Homo-oligomer: A and B are copies of this chain.
Amino acid sequence: MNRKIVIVGLGLIGGSLAKAFQKYTQCQIAGIDRNPDVLKAALECGAIDKIASEADIQEADVLYLCLYPQADIDFAAAHAHLIPPHCVVTDTCGIKAEICAHLPRIAREHGFAFVGGHPMAGKEQSGFTSSDADLFLDASYILVPCDAPQQAVGLLKEIAKALRFGGTVEATPEKHDRMIAFTSQLPHVLACAYVMSPSCPEHNGFSAGSYRDVSRVANINEALWAELFIDNREALMEELDILIANITMLKDAVSKKDAEALRALLCKSRQIKEMLGE
């Protein structure tokens, strides 16, 4: 694996991609970030080989957009004239409807390929200082090909394998966003709602794994997630309504002291986990 890579945005995800490329491939990595301190740090630790010039974009084999959704679209629109036809452009955003409403069109107009991408890995901490070459180890990598040629999708899969992702799945933007509303956005809303209880500040000494797990992602990057939640609001609100209805159903059984109904509901949950082998 020896390609010219440009990574735009060296935060947690972009920085981790750069470090993974350096650790596991022979690719040449050029980086872009609006923060000069981040670029300096990335150069100094060897996460990037150089700060990307216009010429680097013009020669890129793969360009990773690792900004927030709207910023990714803006960057691609502003630099599309530099991107060569053989280049595969991809993003790492947590939602795809908005990205896929713009990027495939920009790509078509300028003759390069766009494939949506979402590495299913994260951390409670954000920024380059939290980035890690092994953040993606065994993680799933979701690809949203839209109308990109299979060759472009194949290249991203090959890279994902080299970077030690656990596997790739393909989805439409709609399926991606619907699933992410459940697997990722809902737990983040939940964690935030959970820690707002007046009991939370007193939890020390009275808590263990279940507190730790449900509250973990409440340490949230509010600017990023507010944008993600609002961009995916239909799917997220549907999951929130389902969740509130299910909590209410359990609450009603508790309220009525209906042990049989409560056991039946809890049993159903256990069986779902068992069916999934978890």
Q: Could you jot down 11 A-B contacts, CB within 8 Å?
A: A122-B209, A122-B210, A171-B206, A178-B199, A179-B199, A180-B206, A182-B211, A186-B194, A192-B266, A221-B270, A244-B248
Q: CB distance B230 to A240 under 8 Å?
A: no
Partner of A206, one of B179, B188, B201: B179
Picked from B206, B247, B274, the residue with its CB within 8 Å of the CB of A142 is B206
Instruction: Say yes or no: A194-B183 contact (C-beta < 8 A), given A199-B239, A206-B120, A239-B199.
Output: no
CA distance A239 to B243 in the complex (A): 16
Which of A24-32, A81-89, A99-107, A257-265 has 4 or more CB atoms under 8 Å from chain B? A257-265
Min CB distance A92 to B, Å, is 13
Closest to A274 in B: B219
Q: Do B197 and A211 touch (CB < 8 A)?
A: no
Task: Knowing A196-B272, A243-B194, A247-B244, say if A236 contacts B218 (CB, 8 Å).
Answer: no
Q: A216-B213, A275-B201 are in contact. Are A243 and B183 (CB under 8 A)?
A: no
Tell me whether B222 and A169 are in contact (CB under 8 A).
no
Contact B196 A246 (CB under 8 A): yes
Q: Which of B190, B200, B269 contacts A218 (CB 8 A)?
A: B269
How many angstroms between the C-alpha atoms of A213 and B218 in the bound complex?
Answer: 12
Interface size of A as a range: 35 or more
Contacts of A55 in B (CB 8 A): none
A255 CB to closest chain B CB (Å) equals: 6
- Write out the residue numbers on chain B whose beta carbons fall within 8 Å of the beta carbon of A251: 189, 237, 240, 244
Contacting B at CB under 8 A, from A197-227, are 197-211, 213-223, 225-227
Q: By the criterion CB–CB under 8 Å, are B246 and A191 in contact?
A: no
Report yes or no: A220 in contact with B187, Cβ–Cβ below 8 A.
no
Q: Say yes or no: is A121 at the interface (Cβ < 8 Å to chain B).
A: yes
Q: Are A169 and B247 in contact (CB under 8 A)?
A: no
Chain B CB count within 10 A is highest, among A195, A251, A269, for: A269
Q: Which residues of B sit under 8 angstroms from A269, Cβ to Cβ?
A: 191-193, 195-196, 218, 220
Considering the chains assembled together, what is the distance between the CA atoms of A180 and B210 in angstroms?
Answer: 11
Given contacts A192-B265, A197-B239, A255-B233, contact A203 B215 (CB under 8 A): no
A193 to B, closest residue via Cβ: B246
Q: Are B267 and A222 in contact (CB under 8 A)?
A: yes
Would you call A254 an interface residue if the criterion is a C-beta within 8 Å of the partner chain's C-beta atoms?
yes
Q: Is B183 a contact partner of A208 (Cβ separation < 8 A)?
A: yes
A223 CB contacts on chain B under 8 angstroms: 263
The residue on B at minimum CB distance from A264 is B222
User: Once bound together, how far apart are the Cα atoms of A189 and B190, in whole Å?
Assistant: 12
Q: Who on chain B is nearest to A261 by CB? A: B226
